[in-house]
Chain A
Amino acid sequence: MNGLFASLDARARLLAVVGATAVVASTPVGVLTPFVLYVPLTYLLLRTGQASREYLAWRCFAAAPFLLMAGLLLAVEAAWPTGNWAPGNGKAIWEAINWDAGLPRALSILGKGFTAVLLLAFLMATTELAELLWAMRRLGSPRPLNLILGMMYRYTSLLSEEYARMERARDCRMVRPLGWQGIGVHGHHMGSLLVRSWDRADRVHAAMVSRGFTGEWPVSRSSAFGMRETVFVLVCVASFLAARVLL
């Protein structure tokens, strides 16, 4: 991973993204003018790192259904008091919605939501999870939380594959596909995976201890939060804040 953003301490990257997201999210609902600066500022921030455009677009696409639903709900709610629609009065609900009242609110929610998704996806595209865990730990995150996160990152894909293998083996032995009656079978499979995970946990813990595990994930990369990081975080958050306050 190259670029200015990726070369910064992981804490600075995390703080810059969280700070910028918080400023954008604090924009009042229905206010669109700050987005005149939010959009170029977000673009500039994304230019400081080398994140795949396809990845960023895909993450926005994945978040779209929830954001669209929230925007629509807000638009309808804003339009409702002036609407004269009631079930059975012969008028379609679509015609009763006062878009002049609802559209800016929906657009501002969509703008805030997609900006937040873009910034977070950019952070993850330019930062390894191990670095992020280390940064969170240094910023005061509890030790058990970091350990659970590290375990999950390591073992979720492995256990997913194991569960898929169990399902394939079950399907091979079935004479007909499972329907609703198969809930018991599904439950037994899940229980089986839980038992296997439990047993694996004891073996993993013994192996970790034998390798000198002291309760913290080791991070090979050393970095420091210096002047460069401080300036970057301040400039990043201050730029978004200026757009939020001035426009």
Chain B
Amino acid sequence: MHIADGIIPNVWCGAAHAASWTAVYLLGRNVETEEVVRLGMLASASFAISLVHFPLGATSVHLGLYGLAGILAGRRAFPVIFAALLLQTLLFQHGGLLSLGLNAINMGAGALLAAGLWRAGVGPEPARAFLCGFVGVVTPALLIAAEFWLTGYGKGFLFMAALYLGAAALEGALTAAVVAFLRRTRPELLMAGA
């Protein structure tokens, strides 16, 4: 869910822009060109996969893959997600240039939380991968609901966030399946974000 321009007050958007640009600078510094190309390709692949819709009840959902981005890119997931959101904003007008920072913080927080959970290494790997995929969706949904509530839209978005639980479970299961595949075939990819 991308917040469009004009919805959230400019003060919030400005503060979020400042925070997210700072995060992009800090989390993207000292990166080699080779790694940037890999991150770019990873972002492209994730973007391509996220365009696929899965049926869920009477509707369909598309994947965000924020948890998987956190697993594969670690702290670099934030610049990757920022770039992906900016591209979506520019090409499809999903979100807006003013609210880009807010959207990046919402989605990036999910990815960074997933990266932290993954690196913590607690629990069996499939369960950890599921949890990473799950929090990668639930965290942005809760943050968006909180932002709407705090800026005068009421608690309606909390209901929307609850609807995202199904999508989060689906994404968790898919993330666990992807991680299981990578563990068998190319385990070094799972170490790249560490």
Spell out A's residues near B (CB within 8 Å). Answer: 17-18, 21-22, 24-26, 29, 59, 62-63, 66-67, 70, 73-74, 76-77, 80, 109, 111-113, 115-117, 120-121, 124, 129, 132, 142, 144-145, 147-156, 158-160, 162-163, 167, 183-184, 186-188, 190-198, 200-202, 204-205, 208-209, 213, 215
Chain B's nearest CB lies how many Å from the CB of A66? 6
**What is the CA–CA distance of A22 and B145 in the complex, to the nearest angstrom?**
23
The reply to whether A201 and B40 contact each other, CB–CB distance below 8 Å, is yes
Chain A's nearest CB lies how many Å from the CB of B128? 15
Query: Which residues 75-89 of B sit at the A interface, judged by CB distance below 8 A?
Result: 79-80, 82-84, 86-87, 89
**What is the CA–CA distance of A156 and B47 in the complex, to the nearest angstrom?**
7
Q: Which residues of B contact A147 (CB under 8 A)?
A: 33, 36-37, 40
Output the nearest chain A residue to B28 by Cβ-Cβ distance. Answer: A144
B98 on the interface (CB 8 Å rule)?
Answer: yes
The total of chain B residues at the interface (CB under 8 A) is 69
**What is the CA–CA distance of A95 and B182 in the complex, to the nearest angstrom?**
55
Q: Which residues of B contact A204 (CB under 8 A)?
A: 37, 41
A144-B79, A191-B185 known; A215 vs B33 contact (CB < 8 Å): yes
The reply to whether B174 and A186 contact each other, CB–CB distance below 8 Å, is yes
A59-B93, A109-B7, A152-B87 known; A66 vs B36 contact (CB < 8 Å): no
Chain B's nearest CB lies how many Å from the CB of A60? 9
The reply to whether A190 and B178 contact each other, CB–CB distance below 8 Å, is yes
The reply to whether A156 and B98 contact each other, CB–CB distance below 8 Å, is no
The reply to whether A201 and B41 contact each other, CB–CB distance below 8 Å, is yes
- A-B pair number, CB within 8 angstroms: 226
**What is the CA–CA distance of A184 and B180 in the complex, to the nearest angstrom?**
9
Q: Which residues of B contact A66 (CB under 8 A)?
A: 1-4
Spell out B's residues near A (CB within 8 Å). Answer: 1-7, 10, 13, 24-25, 28-29, 31, 33-34, 36-49, 51-52, 54, 72, 79-80, 82-84, 86-87, 89-93, 96-98, 148, 152-154, 156-157, 170, 173-182, 185-186, 189
A73-B157, A129-B90 known; A120 vs B180 contact (CB < 8 Å): no
The reply to whether B185 and A195 contact each other, CB–CB distance below 8 Å, is yes
Q: Which residues of B contact A116 (CB under 8 A)?
A: 4-6, 96, 98
Prevailing SS type, chain B contact patch? helix
Output the nearest chain A residue to B157 by Cβ-Cβ distance. Answer: A73
A142-B24, A197-B45 known; A120 vs B93 contact (CB < 8 Å): yes
The reply to whether A24 and B6 contact each other, CB–CB distance below 8 Å, is yes
Q: List 25 A-B contacts (CB under 8 A).
A: A21-B97, A22-B98, A26-B10, A73-B154, A109-B6, A116-B6, A116-B96, A124-B90, A144-B24, A149-B86, A151-B41, A151-B43, A152-B40, A154-B44, A155-B41, A187-B174, A188-B178, A191-B179, A193-B45, A194-B45, A194-B72, A198-B41, A201-B37, A202-B38, A213-B33
